Amino acid sequence: MSRIVFIVIAAVVVVAAATAGRYMMMPGGSDGGQSQAARVQVGGPFTLTDHTGKRVTEKDFAGKYMLMYFGYTYCPDVCPTSLSVVAEALDQLSPEQLAKVVPIFVTVDPERDTPEVMASYVPHFHSTMVGLTGSEDEVKAAARAYKAFYAKVNADAPDGNYTMDHSSITYLMGPDGLYVTHFNHGTEAAKMAARLKELL
C-alpha cells in the first residue's frame, strides 16, 4: 500500500469514528460530563413567542447560557419533576452564576400552551424562567433543532384530554448559542448544580 493511500484511509477512519461518536453521544448521554460535547449538533435558530407575548429568537438570549427543556404544561409528572430539578439547581448557584443563565421551557403542545397559559405556569418553578410557545411549525422547527422528540397521544380523546409523549432532556447552551452539555432525565438537582457551577 502506498503511503498516500494509507493516509487517505486513515483520515476516513478518523472522520468515521468522530461522526459515530457524535451521534452516539445523545443516546448514550451522560449527566453532562462529556468533553467532546461541542461536537454534538444540537441547537440552532428559533423564532417563538415568550410567555409575555413577545416574539423572540435565539438572538434575544445571546450572551447568556440557556438551560432549555421541551415539554408541556398539562404534563402530569415528567415536566413538573424536571422543571423542579432545574429550579432547585438554579437555587444552589451564586447570584453571579444565576445572572448568567436563563431557564427556558419550550412547549411541544402549542395548541393548549398559549402565552397566557405559559405565563401562569413558568413562575411557579422559578422567577427567572421563560416560557416559549409558537405556531405548530415554529415549535416543530425548534424541537427538531434541539433533537427533542414529541408526539400526541390519544389525539382523538372525546374530552380533548390528550397527552404528549416527549423526550426529557435539559440542554445547556452557551452564550454563543452553541451546545455545551445536556442533563438526562433523572439527573439530581445537586449534580446539575455542581456541573453548572463548573461551567458558568
User: What does the binding site for Ni ion look like in residue numbers (CB under 5 A)?
Assistant: 71, 75, 78-79
Quick one: how far is CA 65 from the chain centroid? 11
Q: How many residues does this entry show for the chain? A: 200
Residue 58 identity (one-letter amino acid): E
Quick one: angle between helices 189-199 and 78-90, nearest 10?
Answer: 50
* Complex with Ni ion: residue 79 or 117, whichever CB lies closer: 79
Least CB distance to Ni ion at residue 75 (A) = 3
On whether the CB atoms of residues 51 and 118 are closer than 8 A, the answer is yes
Give the separation between CA 37 and CA 39, rounded to whole angstroms: 5
* Complex with Ni ion: residue 78 or 189, whichever CB lies closer: 78
Least CB distance to Ni ion at residue 69 (A) = 9
* Complex with Ni ion: residue 49 or 107, whichever CB lies closer: 107
* Complex with Ni ion: residue 167 or 200, whichever CB lies closer: 167
Integer CA distances (angstroms), 46 to 5, 58, 96, 143, 162, in order = 43, 6, 27, 9, 26
Least CB distance to Ni ion at residue 140 (A) = 17
Residue 115 identity (one-letter amino acid): P
Give the residue nearest to Ni ion (CB). Answer: 75
Least CB distance to Ni ion at residue 22 (A) = 27
Query: Cα-flanking dihedrals φ and ψ of residue 11, to 5°?
Result: -65, -40
Least CB distance to Ni ion at residue 82 (A) = 7
* Complex with Ni ion: residue 65 or 121, whichever CB lies closer: 121
